[in-house]
Amino acid sequence: MHSDPNVAKRQHWMGVLARAAQQLQPYADALKDAQYSHIRHPEIGMTLVRGRIGGTGEAFNLGEMSVTRCVVRLEDGRIGFSYVSGRDKQHAELAALADAHLQGSQQQHWLRELIEPLAAQQQAGKAAQAAETATTQVEFFTLVRGED
Amino acid sequence: MVQAHSSEWLQAAFSDPVLDAQLSFRTALKALAEPGLVQTMDRALELDSLQPATYALCLSFLDGDTPLWLAPRFDTPMIRANLAFHCGCPIVAEREMALFGLLDESELLDLSDFDNGSERYPDQSCTLLVQLSSLDNGPQLRWRGPGIKDVQAVELPVPAGFWAQRKARSNFPRGLDVFFAAGEHVMGLPRSTHVLHNNHEEAA
């Protein structure tokens, strides 16, 4: 996360919005309840995923993934950006709208109504998945697992 | 509150990015293929002091691989922000580094620093995009060369010094290709075109 708290906050909500996908649908009417125009219509493209995977930590080209991006502008000039994985243009547009709303005077409202519930849902989903996976863990009591 | 960034300057560009960029690019090719003929290029809106045709040329030519030199008149936060956003082109301060130059008529008297390519790669020369107030009502000249059947009469309102500068930078196959834009119209002037001045005609 960025050292500037404002930037870190925005990184957090953009991450939540990017992971939200279908979860954003129930908020579609509220998000679109504003005059807005597209600076960049939702468009699908590819991006290269790189990671420090090699033994010496150098970047490795893992592969390509599809990404959808969108930029909208609200009537008062606020601009919202989104980059989301996959090919869902609706998702990208809603995420960009949410980003624009979150930069305005209603920020607390949107954080409370949109980001916190979504983050909680995502957290719960992640925990459920981890719990489900944990049930398949096999304990080998006679073998050293390298933990000590 | 998140502070305002350069994003406050952003405007929409082409309404249909793919189709409009292809149409504009096709029109630009046609302008170079038929030097001296006025082509209509109206797919973009104006941006700050950039007129529609000039902006459409920028949007269809520029990308991350094309360093651009901006004339001081066009070097505004709004133009910089929108070119960075929609084209992603690096903006360079040295003319020698530029693959494209965005000029107004006051910059036409010194073209000496723009790259006119090499013998081996003449295609890597700098292409000049020149915004004029109009494409006619200048001194009458006649153009001759590839793409022109006989002679093409042209009345571009550019200073006489420009033609001398262009000639000084021409050494075929090296040279500068120029697009003149005004309003929603474009005219191409490739390096292969010979310009005949009425008083003292040059051998074509």
- Locate the chain A residue with the closest alpha carbon to B6: A79
Residue A146 pLDDT greater than 80, yes or no: no
A39 to chain B: which residues are within 8 Å by CB? 10-12, 85
For chains A and B, count residue pairs whose Cβ atoms are closer than 8 Å: 29
Distance CA B106, CA B73 (A): 9
Task: Tell me the pLDDT tens digit for each residue of A115-143.
Answer: 999 999 999 999 999 999 999 988 777 66
Pairing, β A59-74 against β A79-85: antiparallel
Interchain pair B3, A41: CB under 8 A: no
Q: Among B1, B3, B7, whose Cβ lies nearest the Cβ of A79?
A: B7
Count CA atoms within 13 Å of residue A103 on its CB side.
Answer: 24
Owner of token pair 């006489």: B160
Q: What is the mean pLDDT of chain B?
A: 92
pLDDT along chain B (204 residues), means of 10: 62 92 97 96 94 97 96 95 95 96 95 94 96 94 94 94 94 95 97 82 47
Tokens found for residue B117: 């390519």
Nearest-neighbour CA in chain A from B9: distance (Å): 9
ipTM, interface predicted TM-score of the complex: 0.76
Distance CA B13, CA B43 (A): 9
Distance CA B154, CA A15 (A): 57
* pLDDT of res. B8: 78
Q: How many helices (H) and strands (E) does chain B have?
A: 4, 10
- Locate the chain B residue with the closest alpha carbon to A11: B2
Task: Tell me the pLDDT tens digit for each residue of B150-204.
Answer: 999 999 999 999 999 999 999 989 999 999 999 999 999 999 999 998 655 554 4
Tokens found for residue B162: 């420009």
- Locate the chain A residue with the closest alpha carbon to B16: A41
Cα-to-chain-centroid distance, residue B34? 15
* pLDDT of res. B203: 43
On whether the CB atoms of residues A84 and A93 are closer than 8 A, the answer is no
Task: Tell me the pLDDT tens digit for each residue of A85-108.
Answer: 999 999 999 999 999 999 999 999
Interchain pair A73, B10: CB under 8 A: yes
Q: Among A38, A77, A81, whose Cβ lies nearest the Cβ of B12?
A: A38
- CB contact set of B63 (below 8 Å; sequence gap of 6+): B87, B88, B89
B173: cis peptide before it, omega within 30°?
yes
A40 to chain B: which residues are within 8 Å by CB? 12, 85-86
Question: Residues of B at the A interface (Cβ-Cβ below 8 Å)?
Answer: 1-3, 7-8, 10-12, 17, 85-86
Q: Which domains does chain B have, with CATH numbers?
A: 12-197 (3.40.50.11310)
Distance CA A41, CA A78 (A): 16
- CB contact set of B144 (below 8 Å; sequence gap of 6+): B150, B151, B152, B193, B194, B196, B204
Where does the pLDDT of residue A54 fall: very low under 50, low under 70, confident under 90, or very high at 90 and above?
confident
Distance CA B162, CA B168 (A): 10
Our CA dihedral for A117, A121, A122, A128, rounded to 10 degrees, sits at: 160
